[in-house]
Amino acid sequence: NRIIFSGIQPTGVPHLGNYLGALRPWVKLQDGAAPDDQLLFSIVDLHAITIKQDSSLLRQWRKEMFASFLAVGLDPKKSILYAQSDVPAHAELMWILSCSASMGYLSRMTQWKSKMSLPSNANPFDTSTSKKKDAPALKLGLFSYPVLQAADILLYKTTHVPVGEDQAQHLEFARELAITFNHSFGAELLVPPQTIISPAKRVMSLAEPTKKMSKSDPDVKSRILITDTKEKIHKKIRVALTDSIQGVSYNRETRPGVSNLIDIMYHFQEEQFTSPEQLAQDLFGPETSLKALKEKVADTVDEHLREVREAFNNAMSMGDAEMSGVARESANTANQLASSNLKTIKAQMGLGWD
Ligand code: AQP
């Protein structure tokens, strides 16, 4: 049987990248699951606080993320849908793993560097780069983010983790940490998980198509939210950065903006075309204007998100008590699984009373 775990930060309403790269594949896994598969999807609020958050906004975002889970089709009867901070074992296992995690390995991770706008070769221990004028000081939590992520996964003996490509480096870290840990305690306590990278592994920003689409990008036109209205979708795609080459053709290197739009359209129609290149050839061509391409892409996105948008509004109209009741019930199940696994790990390490 498979144990599938993944998480998403409550740092805003999910965008097309989160939807195509994570939420939609999670729903596919849920709906195709065998009876003895176990699925856990977490709103990872402890990860969100690695960057300063406003408390009331964080509460609002957690609610919106839970509503997004329900809106995309995640079902609390089939999957465990819970907030990470409701299961204390995540933080406890993180401490245990921190005692085995290599600082050198963590310092090579690219995520904390990109959050601090530092070059990918930056070294956190070199004060001349970490004190770079406009970069906020590196916090321990942001630096050790991958250790918490490893704890999230390893806590449940997860076998499969579905994520977008940006998380592949962290997943490799989790695998190696599990192997090192097992080796040092002489037992198969942790399960090195497999990464499942979604076909839509990297949806790019509409404003800067060489960067990934991101919730925290200050430019709101860089992303399409799963809750955006038809008008907003059209407006954002109309102003998406493309190029001045005539016609429509697919080439991620030379035409990143145009290719990102084609990719987005393709991910909504994967059954009808064998590749984005084929979609571009069959539906468009050297005679098609970029304006026409954008209209078609916007229509496709709107059509596919309409149901999600409506379901999101329904879920948001649930009372707070009703929503937290569903989340707490799932958290109870997660707590039971987590504390039993954690107990075994601690016992092997000589922690806790027999
Ligand atoms: N652009 C993307 N394309 C494909 N997949 C993506 N994911 C994120 N962006 C893209 C996937 O979404 C899941 C949840 O991501 P997260 O919220 O934990 O954090 P993130 O990867 O850092 O996403 P954002 O949107 O960029 O959030 P912020 O701005 O808050 O950091 C992951 O599986 C991720 O791969």
List CB contacts of 84: < 8 A, sequence separation 6 or more: 7, 42, 43, 44, 45, 46, 47, 90, 152
Best of 24, 28, 165, 166 to mutate for ligand 1, by most ligand atoms within 8 A of CB?
Answer: 166
pLDDT at 134: 45
Residue 135 domain flag: no
Residue 51 domain flag: yes
Render the burial of 191-208: b for 16+ CB within 10 Å, e for the rest.
Answer: bbbebebbebbbbbbbbe
Q: Do 193 and 293 belong to one domain? A: no
Q: Where are the beta strands (DSSP E) in 44-136?
A: 80-83
Q: Do 89 and 157 belong to one domain? A: yes
Residue 138 domain flag: no
CB distance 208 to ligand 1 below 6 Å: no
Here the CATH number for the domain that contains residue 180 is 3.40.50.620
157: alpha, beta or left, given left = phi > 0 and alpha = psi -120 to 50?
Answer: left
CA distance 67 to 58: 14
Q: Do 295 and 324 belong to one domain? A: no
Best of 9, 160, 171 to mutate for ligand 1, by most ligand atoms within 8 A of CB?
Answer: 9
| Cβ pair 19, 226 in contact under 8 A | yes
CA distance 342 to 155: 7
Q: Per-residue pLDDT tens for 232-276?
A: 999 999 999 999 999 999 999 999 999 999 999 999 999 999 999
Q: Do 270 and 333 belong to one domain? A: no
Q: Per-residue pLDDT tens for 282-308?
A: 999 999 999 999 999 999 999 999 999
Q: Per-residue pLDDT tens for 124-142?
A: 776 665 555 545 578 999 9
Cβ atoms < 10 Å from Cβ of 143: 18
Residue 354 domain flag: no
Residue 57 domain flag: yes
Residue 15 CA: nearest ligand 1 atom is 25
- The residue among 252, 305, 256 whose CA lies nearest residue 16 is 305
Q: Do 174 and 295 belong to one domain? A: no
For the question of residue 212 being annotated catalytic, the response is: yes
- Give the percent of the chain with pLDDT over 70: 97
What is the chain's mean pLDDT, rounded? 94
Q: Which helix (H) or strand (E) holds 5?
A: strand 3-8
Residue 126 domain flag: no
Q: Do 93 and 14 belong to one domain? A: yes
Q: Per-residue pLDDT tens for 36-61?
A: 999 999 999 999 999 999 999 999 99
Here the CATH number for the domain that contains residue 277 is 1.10.240.10
ipTM field: 0.96
CB distance 164 to ligand 1 below 6 Å: yes
Residue-number span of the structural domain to which 235 is assigned: 227-314
Q: How many contiguous H segments (helices) and E segments (strands) does the chain have? A: 16, 5
Q: How many domains does the chain fold into? A: 2
pLDDT at 10: 97
For the question of residue 157 being annotated catalytic, the response is: no
Q: Do 328 and 258 belong to one domain? A: no
- CA R_g for the chain: 21
Q: Do 304 and 247 belong to one domain? A: yes
CA distance 85 to 100: 23
